[in-house]
Structure 1
Amino acid sequence: MSRPVIHYFPIRGRAEVLRLAIVAGGDDFDVVDVNYQEQKSDREKYPFGQCPRLVDGDLNIVQSNTIARYLARKYKLQGKDETEMVAVDEIMEGVESLRVKYVNLIYNDKLEEAAKDLYWKTYFDKTTSEGRNGGAHMVYLANFLAKNGGKHTVGAGLTIADLCLWEILDLHLRIFEDAIKKEYPELVVFHDHIASQPGIKEYLASPKRLAAPNANTLG
């Protein structure tokens, strides 16, 4: 059986969660660098003119969270029952709310110091979690982890929600490492725990993991 193939630019972006899901499921993947003109013109392969795109056997799938949910079903990372599956979806959407803010910090504000200070205050400072933040705050995500015992966000085992939280946390640790270690030590423990899981540990140490998280080299 052929391995899944991820079509993407040579940056991590949302494709990191997809890679983590595949290796956590005990599988491996191949990567194809995208031809930008083809991506914008070929509506069969790229119906939204965007990446990532996953080719898995006869399946051609686009849209990051659609691919993530497919991989979660394939590798049994979606939760064991309806209650867990709903919680997984909630966390995935919560991560996306924060990711929108992160993307703005990276590409529009370009990690300027004043922007970083405001970003931390709005989306990470525990005293501001009840303020206007567009539904995006790390406290909200950390609460799922705390209620579930600290190792996983949902249930007793690894889910795609853990991988989504791990990836967005990993991006922020690159920017706010000291502050996160001080204010959210439980998230650092979680980050280390997920990074040590079979398949994930080997992937993170391999050349398959790209160094650049963003296209503008920031972050």
Structure 2
Amino acid sequence: MPKYRLHYFDLRARGELLRLVFAEAGQDFDDKRISFPEWPKLKPTTPFGGVPVLEVDNQRMSQSLCIVRYLAREFKLTGDSNKHEFAADEVVTTMEEFLFKLPFMEQDQKKKMELVKEQLDTSDKAKFNLGRVLQTYESRIAKKGDYFVNNKFTYADLFIYHVSQTVKALDGKGMTSFPKLEAIAERVSQRPKIKKYLASRPSCPF
């Protein structure tokens, strides 16, 4: 079996989906959490000056979405066909693009809440934002669908859970305005291996 080592900050952000994939797969890995003081010395040693970086035996991989697609394929979390894999990839790529436009670093709490509200606005006047993305995907879920792609679990469902938790950390509500997506997030949190991981993972910021 390959040996995996993930290099990322002691944050969730772009590293958490990778950790969730490892957890769902039941795959051991070395979760190397980088402190901010040590980052300036480590940065020049990374392939493109950023993390996450995944070591698989002697090979180093970079770019979070490329890494997660690789792992999802390795652990059979992409669905049953190329079309299903595309559907999962589309969810993750699109949501990630808009998720990281949220004002994580804003120090003014009033301004932060205004910006979060703006990014989650689903009115016709809203610019295309995370709220509109979530609204689009909410409309695609079957009424009784347990999971997003062909009603079978994929890594897209893990990211839906991650988005829900990230938004909840900012506004306290999560995806309650999108009940079918929120139901998927809740279902993911109760999967046995994910539930075990969530109960034991280190407490850290998003």
Secondary structure in 1 aligned to 2:181?
helix
Secondary structure in 1 aligned to 2:153?
coil
Query: 1:97, 1:134 within 8 Å by CA — same for their partners in 2?
Result: no
Cα gap change, 1:177 to 1:135, in 2 (>3 Å)? closer
1:211, CA displacement in angstroms?
A: 1.9
- Matched residue, 2:199: 205
- Matched residue, 1:189: 183
C-alpha deviations, 1:140-173, integer Å up to 9, x for none?
23234x2474321112322111112211111111
Segments of 5+ residues of structure 1 without an aligned counterpart are: 215-219
What is the aligned-residue RMSD (CA, Å)?
Answer: 2.3
Structure 1 segment 34-183 matched on structure 2, within 5 A = 34=34, 35-42=38-45, 46-102=46-102, 105-107=103-105, 109-110=106-107, 112-120=109-117, 122-128=118-124, 131-134=126-129, 137=132, 138-144=134-140, 146-147=141-142, 149-178=144-173, 180-181=175-176, 183=177
Query: 2:5, 2:54 within 8 Å by CA — same for their partners in 1?
Result: yes
- Matched residue, 1:217: none
| TM-score, with structure 1 as normaliser | 0.81
Cα gap change, 1:80 to 1:150, in 2 (>3 Å)? same
CA distance in 1, matches of 2:84, 2:129: 24
CA distance in 1, matches of 2:203, 2:138: 26
1:136, CA displacement in angstroms?
A: 6.0
How many residues end up aligned between the 2 structures? 202
Structure 1 segment 15-26 matched on structure 2, within 5 A = 15-26=15-26
Query: 1:72, 1:78 within 8 Å by CA — same for their partners in 2?
Result: yes
- Could you tell me which amino acid in structure 2 is paired with residue 210 of structure 1? P
Query: 1:94, 1:136 within 8 Å by CA — same for their partners in 2?
Result: no
Query: 2:147, 2:157 within 8 Å by CA — same for their partners in 1?
Result: yes
CA distance in 2, matches of 1:148, 1:64: 32
1:205, CA displacement in angstroms?
A: 0.3
Secondary structure in 1 aligned to 2:123?
helix
1:135, CA displacement in angstroms?
A: 7.0
- Matched residue, 2:32: 32
1:2, CA displacement in angstroms?
A: 5.3
Secondary structure in 2 aligned to 1:106?
coil
Secondary structure in 2 aligned to 1:131?
coil
CA distance in 2, matches of 1:62, 1:148: 37
Secondary structure in 2 aligned to 1:83?
helix
Segments of 5+ residues of structure 2 without an aligned counterpart are: none
1:179, CA displacement in angstroms?
A: 7.0
CA distance in 1, matches of 2:183, 2:16: 20
CA distance in 2, matches of 1:91, 1:179: 17
1:110, CA displacement in angstroms?
A: 3.1
CA distance in 2, matches of 1:169, 1:28: 25
